[in-house]
């Protein structure tokens, strides 16, 4: 059975290794799609609807076509079509400069007849609301799930809590907006630089769309400026760039504006849930009844978890989607989990309080995960759980502190579908190639670590190529925290195979059988006689004119899904201003085998900070009067900045020697931990995110009254 070996035997795996792309990233040399400059390249822009719902009455591109410097103008909709959200595409322009493209958009003649719209869930569900898609009352068919005997459960309950929880729509805010550079060679070959999480997915989509054999499309993503689940396909903008390039015979760059990024490039759906839950006097969660909905804009996919993490025998859940005239949702870091976790962790605390129990103890009684049980102990110790207010809000002074806890779970076990090659050249150089992409998680470095560990080299000795479809070694999209667990087994087995081949070449030199050879650090030696040794270069010198190039294979035993996490938060609430400051987060995250501890800590920090943003700051605000998003920029849509950052204790909680993904899970428990800490500080519960000063002050005022 293949294995990663004992931790004590690992020289590199599990250690803190700096990333291979570090130097390029700190010197500005790293080239992102947005940085690609091709000779004769044109700049493209898209004209978008500024209304929520309208029919296209007239569309005339001629005035734009006549502007000097404009090379192509195309329709992205047609007269008679219905535009169904602000930001939907109307037409596109390619011009010699970005400024000319901008000017040309303003010359396009368009007439729209506005139609009744709904942009908020409340408006969509109101009696007599205009139906904006093929759903009665703008509601999808509900998803109903029943387990056990709910009625009996409530009868057994000693306490019952009923509450309504809400999280608003959050947008991804990728710093590199969605976009691409397309360059055709004749009509037969398309090179496509894409800001994507799925190099091969984009290649296959383009091949289908433009009716080309897949090997006549090359997709390149050397570096990528953030995706968080929103960058799996070429999208309208990608198809548009390719069309404009084909028409003009020139390379075309089309990057979304910041505004369009908020409007059309995906978002995390909202969640509203009414929940009634009961627990027995000895602290068992016994009944859970929830009805909820969310909006994913004009599309569906607004699901969320619940009941979450904790076991409950008797439950009934009913969930549906609400259609609104807003851009479609896309997967966003642990889709459905953070919002479900916020509601569940708030509910658990409310039940515990009614029972007169410590909320941590109440969790322990209802959590079947052994991993999380251990994490509770460790996390409580790190945060100083004993410091919490036993009576919430009982602290004195203007600024009140409180502690809270939240939990999460995720899969992240990877899957088949990756091909990779490890090549050893006679000059001692080593190359590792696979068609995955490094979206900032550091998989490029993880690959180098695995190969270097296997061959007795340093990670910097390994030349890693990812983010290019040309070598024809496919890998899946980077979603579901699947990248490293999907890629690692294939890379490891490829490196093992290459090492075996090298041993075969070196055995005659060392006059020893192949199975008696081992790698040292930069050496190959004979296990039974350690005086017999050659340097790495002497060994590879045996290859003469040849190179060794070996593929790898998927191996179930090298990876495992199912990770648990828990977080503890300490907050300080200013009861005069309503400001919530997070003092400290302890994040205990199950990671399976962490290939690179440093990059894993980065991922945990990042998850916590994104969760913090969702809890305290982030909200897409739609104006029901105009149908427009009011904060489609980075000033009014607030993401965490330096002042919001607490002390974060990221604890890489190794549970086994198999690789699991960790990109998503650390953003889940943060919401409940902070929300519960706020309650512990001020004794008033905020059930609607984000927890902004106005909500805190209103809640405090209501408590007084």
Q: Which of residues 246-275 bind another protein (CB under 8 A)?
A: 257-258
Size of interface with another protein, in residues (CB under 8 A): 85
Residue from 379, 627, 669, 683 that binds another protein (CB under 8 A)?
627
Cβ of residue 259: shortest distance to another protein, in angstroms? 9
Interaction between residue 62 and another protein (CB under 8 A): no
Exactly one of 645, 657, 688, 697 binds another protein (CB under 8 A); which one? 645
- Which DSSP string corresponds to 254-299? EE--HHHHHHHS-EEPPEEEEEEEEE-TTS-EEEEEEEEEEEBTTB
Which phi and psi angles does 339 have, rounded to 5°?
-65, -40
Whole-number Cα distances in Å, 39 to 36, 42, 645: 10, 9, 43
> Under the criterion CB under 8 A, does residue 511 sit at the interface with another protein?
no
- Residue 174 or 526: which CB sits closer to another protein? 174
**DSSP β-ladder status, 217-220 and 285-295:** unpaired
Give me the least distance between CB of 63 and another protein, in Å please.
7
Q: Which is nearer to another protein, 535 or 633 (CB)?
A: 633
Q: What is the DSSP letter of 572?
A: E
Binding range to another protein, per CB under 8 A, among 224-232, 392-400, 418-426, 567-575: 224-232
**Could you say whether residue 541 binds another protein (CB under 8 A)?**
no
Q: Is 645 exposed, middle or buried (0-12, 13-18, 19+ CB in 10 A)?
A: middle
- Please state the closest distance from residue 610 (CB atom) to another protein, in A: 6
> Binding of another protein at residue 640 (CB under 8 A)?
yes
Q: Which of residues 112-141 bind another protein (CB under 8 A)?
A: 112-117
Which of these segments, 422-430, 639-647, 651-659, 682-690, binds another protein (CB under 8 A)? Answer: 639-647
Point out which span in 14-22, 131-139, 387-395, 572-580 binds another protein (CB under 8 A).
14-22
Q: Which one among 216, 626, 631, 698 touches another protein, defined by CB under 8 A?
A: 626
In this structure, the number of other CB atoms found within 10 A of the CB of residue 209 comes to 15
Choose, by CB under 8 A, the member of 271, 648, 662, 677 that binds another protein: 648
Angle, helices 669-682/597-616, rounded to nearest 10 degrees: 50
Longest dimension (CA), the chain: 89
Q: Is 380 near another protein (CB under 8 A)? A: no
Rounded (10°) CA dihedral 467, 473, 477, 480: -110
* Residues in region 301-360 near another protein by CB under 8 A: none
CA-based nearest residue to 238, from 190, 172, 186: 190
CB 484 within 8 A of CB 446: yes
CA distance 377 to 565: 12
In terms of CB distance, is 20 or 355 closer to another protein? 20
**441 binds another protein per the rule CB under 8 A:** yes
The CA distance from 556 to 539, in Å, is 32
List the one residue from 74, 378, 639, 697 that touches another protein (CB under 8 A): 639
Closest to 270 measured CA to CA, from 124, 107, 386: 124
Residues 66-105 that bind another protein (CB under 8 A): 67, 97-100, 102-103
Regarding 37 and contact with another protein (CB under 8 A), the answer is yes
Least distance from C-beta 439 to another protein, angstroms? Answer: 7
- The span from the CA of 533 to the CA of 644, in Å, is 55
Among 14, 201, 225, 669, binds another protein (CB under 8 A): 225
| Nearest distance from C-beta of residue 2 to another protein, angstroms | 29
Q: Is the dihedral of CA 350, 352, 357, 358 positive or negative?
A: negative
Sequence-distant (6+) residues with CB within 8 A of 96 are 42, 43, 69, 71
Helix axes 337-355, 359-366, angle to 10 degrees: 110
Q: Tokens standing for 549? A: 């190039």
Residue 237 CA to residue 255 CA, distance in Å, equals 8
Binding string, residues 585-624; x marks residues near another protein by CB under 8 A: -------------xx-xxx-xxxxxx--------------
Between CA 199 and CA 218 the distance in angstroms is 9
* Residue 34 binds to another protein (criterion: CB under 8 A): yes
Answer whether 617's CB lies under 8 Å from 640's CB. yes
The reply on whether position 373 binds another protein by CB under 8 A is no
Q: How far is the CB of 663 from another protein (least distance, A)?
A: 10
Q: How far is the CB of 35 from another protein (least distance, A)?
A: 4
Residue from 5, 7, 11, 25 that binds another protein (CB under 8 A)?
Answer: 25
Q: Binding to another protein by residue 635, rule CB under 8 A?
A: yes
Sheet with 580-592: list strands edge to edge.
399-410, 563-574, 580-592, 647-654
* Residue 200 Cβ vs another protein, minimum distance, rounded to whole Å: 20
Complex with another protein: residue 175 or 214, whichever CB lies closer? 175
Residues 409-438 that bind another protein (CB under 8 A): none
- Using CB under 8 A as the binding rule, whether residue 439 contacts another protein is answered as yes
Pairing mode of beta strands 189-194, 217-220? parallel
Q: Least Å distance between CB 22 and another protein?
A: 4
- State which of residues 10, 63, 216, 423 lies at the interface with another protein (CB under 8 A): 63
Which residue of 10, 15, 30, 654 would you call a contact of another protein, by CB under 8 A?
Answer: 30
By CB under 8 A, tell whether 174 contacts another protein: yes
Q: Which residues pair with 271 in a beta bridge?
A: 167
State the DSSP code for 430.
E
CB of 59 to another protein, least distance (A): 9
Check: CB of residue 112 under 8 Å from CB of residue 80.
no
DSSP 625-685: TT--BS--STTTS----GGG--EEEEEEEE--SSB---SSGGGSHHHHHHHHHHHHHHS--
């Amino acid at each position: 059975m293949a294995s990663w070996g004992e931790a004590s035997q690992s020289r590199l795996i599990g250690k803190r290794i700096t990333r291979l792309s570090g130097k390029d990233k700190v010197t500005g040399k790293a080239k992102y799609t947005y940085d690609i400059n091709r000779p004769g390249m044109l700049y493209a822009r898209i004209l978008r609807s500024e209304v929520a719902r309208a029919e296209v009455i007239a569309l005339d591109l001629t005035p734009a076509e006549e502007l000097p410097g404009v090379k192509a103008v195309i329709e992205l909709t047609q007269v008679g079509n219905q535009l169904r959200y602000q930001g939907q595409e109307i037409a596109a322009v390619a011009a010699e400069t970005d400024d000319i493209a901008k000017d040309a958009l303003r010359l396009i003649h368009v007439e729209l007849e506005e139609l009744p719209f709904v942009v908020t869930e409340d408006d969509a569900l109101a009696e007599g609301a205009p139906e904006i898609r093929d759903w009665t009352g703008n509601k999808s068919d509900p998803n109903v799930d029943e387990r056990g005997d709910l009625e009996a459960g409530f009868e057994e309950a000693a306490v019952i809590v009923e509450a309504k929880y809400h999280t608003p729509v959050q947008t991804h805010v990728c710093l590199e907006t969605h976009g691409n550079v397309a360059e055709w060679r004749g009509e037969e070959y398309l090179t496509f630089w894409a800001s994507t999480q799925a190099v091969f997915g984009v290649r296959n989509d383009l091949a289908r769309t433009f009716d080309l054999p897949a090997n006549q499309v090359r997709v390149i993503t050397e570096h990528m400026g953030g995706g968080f689940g929103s960058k799996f396909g070429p999208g309208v903008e990608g198809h548009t760039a390719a069309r404009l390039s084909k028409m003009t015979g020139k390379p075309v760059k089309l990057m979304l504006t910041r505004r369009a990024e908020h409007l059309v490039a995906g978002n995390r759906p909202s969640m509203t849930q009414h929940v009634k839950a009961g627990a027995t006097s000895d602290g068992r969660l016994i009944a859970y009844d929830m009805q909820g909905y969310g909006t994913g804009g004009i599309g569906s996919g607004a699901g969320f978890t619940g009941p979450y993490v904790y076991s409950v025998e008797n439950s009934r859940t009913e969930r549906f989607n609400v259609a609104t005239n807003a851009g479609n949702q896309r997967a966003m870091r642990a889709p459905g989990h953070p919002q479900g976790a916020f509601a569940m962790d708030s509910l658990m605390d409310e039940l515990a309080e009614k029972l007169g129990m410590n909320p941590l103890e109440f969790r322990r009684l209802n959590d079947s995960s052994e991993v999380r049980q251990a994490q509770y102990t460790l996390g409580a110790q790190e945060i100083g759980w004993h410091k919490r207010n036993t009576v919430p809000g009982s602290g004195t002074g203007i600024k009140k502190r409180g502690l809270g806890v939240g939990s999460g779970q995720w899969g992240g076990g990877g899957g088949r579908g990756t091909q990779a090659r490890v090549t050893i050249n006679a000059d001692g150089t080593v190359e590792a190639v696979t068609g995955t992409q490094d979206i900032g998680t550091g998989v490029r470095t993880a690959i180098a670590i695995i190969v270097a560990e296997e061959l007795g080299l340093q990670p910097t000795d390994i030349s890693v190529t990812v983010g290019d479809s040309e070598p024809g070694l496919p890998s899946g999209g980077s979603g579901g925290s699947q990248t490293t667990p999907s890629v690692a087994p294939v890379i490891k087995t490829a490196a093992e195979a290459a090492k075996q081949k090298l041993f075969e070449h070196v055995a005659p030199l060392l006059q020893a059988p192949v199975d008696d050879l081992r790698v040292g650090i930069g050496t190959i030696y004979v296990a039974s006689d350690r005086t017999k040794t050659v340097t790495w270069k002497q060994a590879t010198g045996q290859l003469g004119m040849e190179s060794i190039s070996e593929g790898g294979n998927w191996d179930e035993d090298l990876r495992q899904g199912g990770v648990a996490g828990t977080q503890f938060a300490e907050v300080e609430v200013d009861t005069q201003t309503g400001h919530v400051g997070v003092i400290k987060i302890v994040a205990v995250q199950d990671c399976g085998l962490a290939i690179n501890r440093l990059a894993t800590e980065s991922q945990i920090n990042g998850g916590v900070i994104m969760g913090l943003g969702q809890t305290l700051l982030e909200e897409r605000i739609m104006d029901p009067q105009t149908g427009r998003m009011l904060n489609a920029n980075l000033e009014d849509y607030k993401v965490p900045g330096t002042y919001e950052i607490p002390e974060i204790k990221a604890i890489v909680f190794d549970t086994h020697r198999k690789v699991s993904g960790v990109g998503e899970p650390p953003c889940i428990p943060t919401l409940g931990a902070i929300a519960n800490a706020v309650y512990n500080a001020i004794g008033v519960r905020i059930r609607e995110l984000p927890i902004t000063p106005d909500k805190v002050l209103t809640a405090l005022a209501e408590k007084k009254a």
